[in-house]
Homo-oligomer: A and B are copies of this chain.
């Protein structure tokens, strides 16, 4: 059995990977680490885990947390993983970090990202950056494999935009200076910490754009698209929040470089992603919504061509806590341990 440690076990991202791992046939959760509710079984705080995971939460300072494991999930905020990763790697663990700490291979790229977040721009584990891999498996199958030791799990908005845009950019279907990402997220994306903005009465009948000055996920979207296009790309990105819990819908626009039919584009996308993965391609007439991916690791992509204005419009749907976070993390773990990619992710969501 693969032994796992989850650091940041009490947040949505930590609980998300716990839920998945409790029914994963090859993994055993060994250690939970968090800074809240320490000393109690996690199922005291999250009663839905009772009987599935009753492990005690350890504080980071507890020597118990130093026991070596095979895989460490760093379900921690930006700036934490860079302090912890090296120690875990030295003990032989593989590390998957949820934050932006290991999404970039250079200190410059990281500094750009951190600056947008208002975080210190210095990276505390710069020596690890050359070996980290951006953990969007659909784009980096060449680099994610059993040799991989350190993965920067992608941001939720970025997953949604990149999966929607990658085939079009790689195949030069759209001009690279015309890309607009209009993204809408459910509220779980903001995490479990209460705030006035997400207090139920302020939110139940409300939607709004936010961070208009610039969202930090833009960096990785531009960086990854740039790799696909082999040139620098700048996008316009709008983050918006709507009153659902789980789900991201990103509507992605680009001006077509050539006349091309919706069907031809669908074929390009299907070829890019294959037929047996987590990405499913639909025509513009399909009735797809975030509900169809809620609770699953799928990304549903709807292709639409606006002939009147020669624009490609892609609508990309994911569950921000699964394909946008814990699901991708588990998918990455499966790959780097040589397991079938869908292990533990092969169950339909509940509906409705």
Contact = CB atoms under 8 A, between A and B. Distances in A.
A329 to B, nearest CB: 15
A309 B243 contact: no
Contact of A204 (B52, B200, B206, B284): B200
Nearest to A187: B200
Contact of A47 (B203, B234, B243, B288): B288
A344 B266 CA distance: 36
B182 A251 contact: yes
Contacts of A48: 291-296, 348-349, 351
Nearest to A311: B236
A293 to B, nearest CB: 7
Q: Determine the interface band of chain A, counting residues with CB < 8 A from chain B.
A: 35 or more
Nearest to A294: B205
A279 to B, nearest CB: 11
Interface stretch (A62-70, A121-129, A133-141, A208-216): A208-216
Given A249-B240, A290-B206, A292-B47, A53 B201 contact: no
Interface string A319-352: 0010000000000000000000000001111111
Interface string A300-324: 1010101011010101010001000
15 contacts: A48-B351, A49-B348, A180-B180, A184-B240, A198-B201, A200-B245, A204-B204, A205-B205, A208-B289, A210-B287, A212-B313, A213-B285, A240-B249, A245-B352, A347-B347
Interface of A: 12, 15-16, 19, 22-23, 46-50, 52-53, 177, 180, 182, 184, 186-188, 192-210, 212-213, 234-236, 238, 240, 242-247, 249, 251, 253, 280, 284-296, 300, 302, 304, 306, 308-309, 311, 313, 315, 317, 321, 346-352
